[in-house]
Chains A and B, each alone.
Chain A
């Protein structure tokens, strides 16, 4: 069976907000609402570190990391359990989705979600431009909405918008039940965390931190399963680490050219780069 999941490499994430805004655009998310928030792990506010500025000229204790956070598409989704009208449900492919026509706006699911991933349209949703954006219809006032893993795209073989638009190649989407998929390989290869694991929700969003992965360079909006070659410029070499070659860092990242450090490449003369 297909079981979709997402890997987010926090070592690669640069907090640029492209995923957050792409999500709003693609999913016609109303002003004032976010389905996908880029949280700062560090200080109290966005883009601030924890710790204190070093007083001794050393690197000190400052620390900052970004944690993009949206619906975690939990295997044991508390929101699904509490929904009194079956509006929130888990699809056969693992995506947790809301039937907005069934939603009665009781917001039990919001209380149940430990990730604060859901928003409620208290008012008539406002879009800018007002005709709306992206590729799904706007939701009405009085319903709860949230990340769908862009199920409308996934159904057409396309990656979620946040994945396609990540400039750091920090987001990888795919089938957790397919051992050959990049998400599965990364979850086997790296120490990945799920948020609030102790809640037993078993999220299908996994975070890498502590060691940087090669990412998955996107040169198409298609899902990995729709492509013949994961990395179109990888010259056919493996782009993701295999379990066998796991500890051999030179074996990963097939897109990286191997060039001797001291080689003096023969290339044409330097043009004046950009003085005009």
Chain B
């Protein structure tokens, strides 16, 4: 802080300031100063504000949590310290973005929750695991990396010898979009361990897949740059301006600015709803009814896209009245195939095979007899099916005004290209896959596939590095998969086989992201070894036996897939060396591989690994990627669904004769099926309130929970509750409440909020145990999944709320600490 001549500027200015201040209080002094101010005030460059602009070293890297962003960012370093983060425009600079979380890494990188050293639970040993020592009171001791890796490898080997390699589960979450997971899966495949099968957020996509042949998580949709071409955007169950699409909010806003109609279907008046032309306040669980009413309107108005239906759907396909099966080409024609279906030509009533992507004068509606077989078209079946769902009929049930239902779908059907952007929230109801099926068919009716301006999900597909099967070597003998939701059964009951040890990376699931938390904690207690690698001391880490400290993203070199985001691959350059003894996941994976006898399968350094993986993707050049920091994958289509659909017929299925069924309901056509949202659910009286855990702009799952800047805005978990529900229970605004059901409880502060539908309460997800006065939101959620959807139904939950007991200790939020619960010091930081 010196001027060129070495005089401390601050002291000089202070002296003059003091002199000027001498006259303070003099009657004429104010005026004198004010009048002379303009003439004698400091110049622009002599303000006493010391600027460091231009003094920073700027390193381009990428923020890469499991959110939609994967935002390329610039990290400013000065005096050996990260000073700030700014967005960096990637190769295609219209994808420049960042959010409040990514901009706050400056704090995350130095947060006290960072893990510093490899640790071992004090009372754990390979032969005497002392499982009861796990949990909130567990104590840890520092060990060397070699010691930690030896312990883990030896235990894995002995379990493999005694119980087979599948007794070890290699669990990987989605918390780090680099390539560690690829190496992790490779080791798992070589070892033969059990590997995870995701049952989170796969519901809507599975339903969509039954219709279109694509989708697992959400279906792919046109890349963000194309959204501005939409004329109607129906955002369904998504607060996309707060979550997932936030970084690309500008694209939707541009569409609206261009004249697009924005419709929001949500039981909550969200930020996104506040921007909408029309908001449909649907009741939880009634989304399928609502979508069927929209189909009804399209049929009634005759606004379906005839040409699209003929060319790209099975709408004209004939359904046999005797069996309910589609009439197959092989039944009608000697040289017909078993896959292809049959339509009749309008007028001549001649049967013809329906080729993919082929237009023709096919009859869309009607009953026909072909070779003596009585049939009707698939579209006829669908039209008759939705006849029962007139908007006026479902208005009361769905909670949505009938005319508004019609208006929304009329905009979609008649205003040119558009689409429906659902979120994962619909899939967080048990039978959410039915919504996926329904809206996929609705957009088939309106012809909204394959065009600019079409939208099918609330985030786009982005780009993923193709690693060409590197995670499964040809000579490996991979073990079985177990669904997330089946983990407790496998660990506790040995069903389908006993899991005795878990090695977990990139995941805070066992402590936070999985539902029915107490059941998962019980499952952890049945393990002989629980190894957790993480950046931070999460709830999951607190339950570990061995802790591998992983560096912050800024301390790991990696290649980042922009899954669900933008069409680039990004290079995560190191900003600084790992602090303390934190080491990249690859260090541990390779260290274990060497000890387990698979060392030769893994390149010696991370850089070599990245070169090897990049070489397998023809659209990526390692040097270009590394130098530019981002490389746009030119083979990523901006507009999706332009070719034949990957279904048997190459067409969208408007009727599914091979549909699965559950609970006595078959999904040949979209048929509503509800679990806890059903009006006659058996415990509806006992637990009258539906409970959701909305994604907020303040956390990505449980990541970023610790950011102090963000916690100043959003300090503690709250229960959003409509004032009428609160008052009926004697709950004051801002009072602590106990939220409970037959699985557990949590104690949080009530927040009166008119945005929430009466009967629906919410606590934003992502809070850790330490943030609650008691319990956790996932003590209330359950682990029941539908057989067809196979997705954890976090929002399909009922609770009751009452004022918290008088004796709860709420000190952590009342100790004049603007940052709330950050107060609880982490236990296993290592110092």
Query: A residues within 8 Å of B by Cβ?
Result: 11-12, 14-18, 20-22, 24-26, 31-32, 34, 38, 42-43, 45-54, 56-60, 62-65, 80-87, 89-93, 97, 99-104, 106, 128-129, 131-137, 148, 151-153, 155-156, 158, 161, 164-165, 167-169, 212-215, 217-221, 232-233, 249, 252-253, 255-257, 259, 261-276
CB-CB under 8 A from A264, the residues of chain B are 450-451, 642
A266 to B191 Cα, complex, angstroms: 45
Are B24 and A25 closer than 8 Å at their CB atoms? Answer: no
A134 closest partner in B (C-beta): B84
Quick check: B242 and A14 within 8 Å, CB to CB?
Answer: yes
Give min CB distance, B684 to chain A, whole Å.
20
For the complex, is B42 an interface residue (Cβ under 8 Å from A)? Answer: yes
- Distance of A165 Cα from B88 Cα, bound (Å): 10
Contacting chain A: which of B509-517, B735-743, B751-759? B751-759
Question: Interface stretch among B327-335, B394-402, B650-658?
Answer: B394-402
Q: A131-B79, A233-B93, A259-B229 are in contact. Are A169 and B271 (CB under 8 A)?
A: no
With A32-B712, A84-B24, A99-B48 as given contacts, are A274 and B87 in contact (CB-CB < 8 Å)? Answer: no
- Contact in complex: A18, B708 (CB < 8 Å): no
Q: A56 to chain B: which residues have CB within 8 Å?
A: 401
Return 15 A-B CB contacts under 8 Å, by A number. A14-B241, A20-B713, A25-B85, A25-B709, A31-B818, A49-B755, A80-B34, A85-B21, A156-B53, A167-B97, A168-B250, A261-B231, A271-B636, A271-B637, A276-B563
Roughly how many angstroms separate A214 CA and B257 CA in the complex, as a whole number?
6
Whether A53 and B110, one on each chain, are in contact in the complex, defined by CB atoms closer than 8 angstroms, is no
**CB–CB A253/B404 < 8 A:** no
Query: Shortest Cβ distance from B318 into chain A, in angstroms?
Result: 27
Q: Is the CB of A14 within 8 A of B254?
A: no
User: Is B580 among interface residues, defined by CB-CB distance under 8 A?
Assistant: no
Asked if A259 contacts B452 (CB within 8 A), the reply is yes
Q: From A18, which residue of chain B is reached at the shortest CB distance?
A: B100
Assess whether B257 is in contact with A261, with CB atoms less than 8 Å apart: no
A54 to B453 Cα, complex, angstroms: 31
Chain A residues contacting B564 (CB-CB under 8 Å) are 273-274
Q: Which residues of A contact B99 (CB under 8 A)?
A: 16, 18, 167
Q: Given A53-B755, A167-B250, A273-B462, are A101 and B17 also a contact pair (CB < 8 Å)?
A: yes
* Residues of A close to B14: CB separation below 8 A: 101
Docked-complex contact A85 and B20, CB < 8 angstroms? yes
Given A167-B98, A215-B253, A274-B220, verify A100-B48 contact (CB < 8 Å): yes
Contact call B44/A271, Cβ cutoff below 8 A:
no
Question: In the complex, which of the residues B219, B713, B818, B819 has the most CB atoms of chain A within 10 Å of its own CB atom?
Answer: B713
Q: Which residues of B are in contact with A by a Cβ distance under 8 Å?
A: 1, 10, 13-14, 16-17, 20-21, 24, 29-30, 33-34, 36-38, 40-45, 47-56, 76, 79, 81, 83-87, 89, 93-94, 96-100, 103-104, 106-107, 110, 205, 214, 216-217, 219-221, 228-229, 231, 241-242, 246-250, 253-254, 256-259, 269, 271, 273-275, 278-279, 281, 395-396, 398-402, 404, 416-417, 450-453, 460-462, 464, 563-564, 635-643, 697-698, 708-710, 712-714, 722, 751-758, 818-819
Q: Could you count the A-B residue pairs with CB atoms below 8 Å apart for me: how many are there?
A: 349
Q: Give chain A residues whose Cβ lies under 8 Å from the Cβ of B404.
A: 57-59
Nearest-CB residue, chain B, relative to A34: B712
How distant is A38 from chain B, measured CB to nearest CB, in Å? 8
Given contacts A84-B24, A167-B250, A220-B89, contact A89 B42 (CB under 8 A): yes
Given the known interface contacts A53-B281, A274-B217, the answer about A46 and B100 at a Cβ–Cβ threshold of 8 Å is no
Task: Report the minimum CB–CB distance from B103 to chain A (whole Å).
Answer: 6
From A100, A128, A169, contact of B708 by CB (8 A):
A128
Q: Smallest CB-CB separation from B45: which chain A residue? A: A155
Contact call B250/A102, Cβ cutoff below 8 A: no
Out of A103, A136, A169, which one reaches B52, CB within 8 Å?
Answer: A136
Q: How far is the CB of A125 from chain B (nearest CB, A)?
A: 13
Contacts of A53 in B (CB 8 A): 269, 281, 722, 754-758
Tell me if B640 and A270 are in contact (CB < 8 A). Answer: yes
Residues of A within 8 A of B250 (CB): 12, 167-169, 215, 217
The 5 lowest CB-CB distance pairs between A and B, nearest first, are A273-B461, A273-B220, A261-B416, A101-B13, A152-B51
Q: Which residue of A lies closest to B44 (CB)?
A: A91
| Contact status B401-A58, CB under 8 Å | yes
| Docked CA distance A131–B637 (Å) | 46
Closest chain B residue, CB of each to CB of A14: B241
Of the candidates B16, B86, B216, B219, which one forms a contact with A221 in the assembled complex, judged by CB atoms under 8 Å apart? Answer: B86
A87 vs B40: C-alpha distance when bound (angstroms): 12
Given A46-B713, A89-B41, A261-B451, 19 extra CB contacts under 8 A: A16-B246, A21-B100, A45-B751, A49-B754, A53-B281, A60-B279, A62-B269, A63-B274, A89-B42, A92-B43, A93-B44, A97-B47, A99-B42, A131-B81, A155-B44, A168-B253, A267-B642, A272-B214, A274-B461
Chain A residues lying within 8 Å of B106, measured Cβ to Cβ, are: 25, 129, 133
CB neighbours of B641 from chain A (8 A)? 270
A83 and B98 alpha carbons, distance in the complex (Å): 38
Residues of A within 8 A of B38 (CB): 90
Q: Assess whether B86 is in contact with A265, with CB atoms less than 8 Å apart.
A: no
A270-B642 CB under 8 A given contacts A51-B754, A57-B399, A102-B20: yes
Are A16 and B100 interface neighbours, CB within 8 A?
yes
Distance between Cα atoms of A274 and B47 in the complex (Å): 52
Contacting pair B401 A57 (CB below 8 A): yes
B242 pairs with A16, CB closer than 8 A: yes
Least CB distance from A93 to B in Å reads: 7
Instruction: Give the distance to chain A from B160, nearest Cβ to Cβ, in Å.
Output: 27
The interface residues of chain B lying within 8 Å CB-to-CB of A59 are: 278-279, 281, 404
Given the known inter-chain contacts A49-B754, A272-B220, please indicate yes or no for A21 contacting B98, CB distance below 8 A: no
Contacts of B253 in A (CB 8 A): 11-12, 168-169, 212, 215
**Shortest beta-carbon distance, A265 to chain B, in Å?**
5
Which of B20, B37, B49 lies in contact with A97, CB distance below 8 A?
B49
Residue of B nearest to A154 (CB): B44
Residues on B with C-beta less than 8 A from A253 are 254, 257-258
Check if B13 sits within 8 Å of A31, measured CB to CB.
no
Q: Given the complex, which residues of B lie within 8 Å of A268, measured CB to CB?
A: 635, 637
Whether A269 lies near B246 (C-beta < 8 A) is no
Complexed CA–CA distance, A49 and B271 (Å): 9
Q: How far is the CB of A49 from chain B (nearest CB, A)?
A: 5
Q: How far is the CA of A22 from the CA of B708 in the complex (A)?
A: 13
Across the interface, which residues of B come within 8 angstroms of A97, CB to CB? 47, 49
- Complex-state Cα separation, A57 to B51, whole angstroms: 55
Are the C-beta atoms of B94 and A217 separated by less than 8 Å?
Answer: yes
What chain B residues lie within 8 Å of A106 (beta carbons)?
24
Report the separation of the CA atoms of residues A137 and B754 in the bound assembly, to the nearest whole angstrom: 43
Please determine whether A256 and B228 come into contact, CB atoms closer than 8 angstroms.
Answer: yes
Q: How far is the CA of A273 from the CA of B81 in the complex (A)?
A: 37
Q: Which of B257, B395, B400, B416 has most chain A Cβ within 10 Å?
A: B257
B642 touches A265 (CB 8 A): yes
For residue B16, which residues in chain A have a CB less than 8 angstroms away from its CB? 101-102
Q: A133-B106, A249-B259, A253-B257 are in contact. Are A270 and B637 (CB under 8 A)?
A: yes
Chain A residue contacts of B51, Cβ below 8 A: 135-136, 152, 155-156
Question: Are A164 and B29 in contact, CB atoms less than 8 angstroms apart?
Answer: no
A128 to B109, CA, bound (A): 11
CB within 8 Å for A219 and B710 given contacts A99-B13, A274-B220, A274-B462: no
Which of B205, B416, B713, B754 contacts A17, CB < 8 Å?
A: B713
The closest CB in chain A to the CB of B14 belongs to A101
A residues within 8 A CB of B254? 214-215, 253, 255-256
Answer whether A135 and B229 are a contact pair too, CB < 8 Å, given A60-B281, A268-B637. Answer: no
- Cα of A150 to Cα of B564 in the assembled complex, Å: 34
The answer to whether A137 and B642 touch (CB under 8 A), given A16-B99, A46-B713, A164-B87, is no
**Nearest-Cβ distance from residue B815 to partner chain A, whole angstroms:** 13
Contact, CB under 8 Å: B53 / A153: yes
The answer to whether B217 and A81 have CB atoms under 8 Å apart is: no
B96 proximity list for chain A (CB < 8 A): 217-219
Report whether A256 and B258 are in contact in the complex, using a CB–CB cutoff of 8 Å. yes
